[in-house]
Amino acid sequence: MNYQSGDEYLQDMPLILAGPMLQHTEPESVTVWLALQQACQVELKVYDTTNNGAVLGNYLFQGRRSTIALGKSLHIVAVTARSLDMYRLRSDRIYAYDLQFIHQADQNRQTLQQALCCDRFPDVNISYFAHQKPTFVLPPDHLQDLRIVHGSCRKPHGHGFDTLPILDCLIEENANQPRKRPHQLFLTGDQIYGDDVAEPLLWVSSMLGDALLGWSERLPVTQNKPGDVAYYTPKQLPPGHRADVVTHQAGFTAGLDNKRAKILSHLLSLGEYYASYLLIWSPVCWPDTFLQGREMMKTRKATKKWDRQVQNMQQFIHTLWKVRRALANIPMYSIFDDHDVSDDWNLNQAWCLRVLGQPLGQRSVQNAMLAYAVSQAWGNTPWQFAADQPGEKLLKAASDWSASQGTDIEAYEAIARYVGMPANNPHTNLPEFVLDGSVLILDRHPEALTWHYTVRSNCHEVIVLDTRTWRGYPAEKKPTAPPMLLCPQAFERQLSLPLQQTPKMPATMVIAPTNVFGLKIIDKIHNWQLQRDKVFATDVGDAWNINTQALAKFLTTLFEQRQKIVVLSGDIHYSSVVRLSFADNSRSFATESVLVQLTSSAMKNEETITRILHTRLKHWLLPEKIRHWIGWLNPPDMVEQKTSQSQRTQTKADWNCALEWIPRQSIQTPNFGTSPSWLMTPQQKAKNDQWQWLQQLMFWKSPWFQDGQEVVGVNNLGLIHFELTDTSNSYKVMQDSYWFSSWYPTQIVYSRFLSQL
């Protein structure tokens, strides 16, 4: 199927373009997100089950909501079901849900199975049971039974196999065991890549986006002289030819410092951002075949690149059915990081001035944030999208903007208000900043959506931070200075208040999309680049420990309220576990506190350097040693100490801490891990079989050499669980990082990291 006309190919699509995706789920309510190609009223029912999920019982919850028309053929809804008689769902039980669709045009009804299927997709399976209904379980009452999955950085054309389909294996293996199947999924950033886009993916996204909207957006550009073009449509900016426009007209920094190749096919239009979410969650909107490189590209090099990327896309699409089924059967929560908009998004004040001061940059950022709001944030925080709330007002503005085919200025300005875009100064056309203590923050409307939120159960709480839109930029330093990732009022709203709202839980988890602590060599590179003012080359300012005042504030804010903290993070394209022990000298905190950082990255974006870190070579050449810091409370700050200095100077500080890397245990193979038949396309399998004899001769491909001690540097997915160690409620936290072996035959294996809390 090739994209010629939107009406032609949409006729071959089922009603459901993406979803159902189970999202915010708690004892009182269940929310399911869907993208449809026609306007419908959607009815959600939640059922009890018996026989360990195999038999449907009575329905317990019910809810209805009409879709929002975001385009001629794009109608999105997050429908929430609740009990009418105050019934609460319980842990240790399997529940199922079903959906009905009432078409607004003719009032015809469709079942869930009818809405999933069409001639191209005659058989769609999103269940693990014979009744064909998706199921879920709530978090358990006891921490040792809790199973949390997390991951980040999923680029469709990234190197290696996509690891998110492994989640489907984890659920399927224990689908009828409520204490063993995963209870929640947290995606911690870079769910899509707005900047680093494969040429074939942009080709699909542009065509699909225009078809879904039913119109083509006119993207504003700066006119340097009267005869210059004032607008571009997406089709006028074809794949592989966007670098100059993206860098000079939009102001994006992703292509600076010799990284031009990263932005050749940057997303810009609203339709492209909408389409990207449908394409990463579902196989429905992908074409059956792609055009060949010689039909699209002019040079031999570009042709080869296109064909190589097409192969990567086809491998990604091949396993999307497992991703779709998994996301229908586990509550999924997410938060953005920079690539959901563009690399370096809000990195520092210089980025904000450079991008948000350009009409095209401002438009593209707003498009990305609107797409995130309707595709992810709606399901994360459905209460913000209830009647008369900012989210509902945003949905109406988005619908009006599309209905006017991008001409309703009032609707556009309303979208800007509700997604939190700063106003521009009328004299300079630069974004407005306001003071928050000693730092500057982007100004925003009081009714703007909040992207942070908290998820709680009987045994754990998860505080999800927004470290992108509430940054504090140093007022007295140059615009490229590293920011506070949370400004003072953000610390209060996102950390202090949630920690104070509930009594101490058995487990407190904090999601920090960018790493709190990373490899020491990376810290050295960041500091070196900062001295050279090359901050955009390696995201200098995204790591918490570049701004020591902000890191000190982060640690002390946590330890004022909790003794045991688990931080979930991603961003850096490797998996690891580090343990921070915190000691108080001022008696302001508990005498002994612990923070364990669990990192899971990337789901699909391994790199040459991370593959080297993955092996024993990293531990031989650059082992991670214990690091020490001393810190102060007023004002908050901390300084790293050499080991020889630690004992002598720590008594002069208010607190001190030590950081150690937890080694990963030897690899293990799960029951479903041996030669998974679903993994490779026929072309990929034939290629691997052809070169299998050579792979076996490569020393660095051997299981022994690949079994490094500190990180998993290939694509991975993290499963977190806890172990009760004694009767004093002391726990160990474990992260099983699942990855695909590089030896033959290919296996799914996992490396276990184990740390005392």
Token output for 583: 């000691």
The pLDDT of residue 665 is above 70: yes
Other CB atoms within 10 A of residue 532 CB: 9
Q: Which residues of 35-72 are buried (b: 16+ CB within 10 A; e: fewer)?
A: bbbbbbbbbbbbbbbeeebbebeeebbebebebbbbbb
DSSP state of 693: H
Q: Which residues contact 80 (CB under 8 A, 6 or more apart)?
A: 24, 29, 30, 31, 44, 63, 65, 382
User: Closest Cα partner for 572 from 741, 337, 755, 369?
Assistant: 337
Q: What is the 3-state secondary structure (H, E, C) of 54-118?
A: CEEEEEEEEEEEECEEEECCEEEEEEEEECCCCCCCCCCCEEEEEEEEEECCCCCEEEHHHHHCC
600-612: per-residue pLDDT in tens?
999 999 999 999 9
109-141: per-residue pLDDT in tens?
999 999 999 989 999 999 999 999 999 999 999
User: Closest Cα partner for 486 from 501, 503, 498, 500?
Assistant: 498
Name the region of 57 (left: φ>0; alpha: ψ -120 to 50; beta: rest). beta
* Average pLDDT in the chain: 92
pLDDT of residue 728: 66
166-197: per-residue pLDDT in tens?
999 999 999 999 999 999 999 999 999 999 99
> Residue 392 — pLDDT band, cuts 50, 70, 90?
very high
Q: What is the mean pLDDT of residues 209-224?
A: 91
C-alpha dihedral (28, 21, 161, 621), degrees to nearest 10: -30
pLDDT of residue 663: 95
Token output for 322: 């497992």
> Side by side, which strands form the sheet with 460-464?
453-456, 460-464, 507-511, 564-569, 592-599, 576-584, 655-661, 627-633, 636-641
User: What is the rounded radius of gyration, in angstroms, for the C-alpha atoms of the chain?
Assistant: 25
398-428: per-residue pLDDT in tens?
999 999 999 999 999 999 999 999 999 999 9
pLDDT of residue 682: 84
Q: Which residues of 298-316 are buried (b: 16+ CB within 10 A; e: fewer)?
A: eeeebbebbbebbbbbbbb
DSSP-based three-state secondary structure for 456: strand
DSSP state of 662: P
CA distance 313 to 311: 5
**Dihedral sign computed on CA atoms, order 121, 126, 130, 134:** negative
Q: What is the pTM of this model?
A: 0.96
Domain ranges in the chain are 571-590+606-757
> Residue 675 — pLDDT band, cuts 50, 70, 90?
confident
Chain center to CA of 315:
21
Burial of 614 (0-12, 13-18, 19+ CB in 10 A): buried
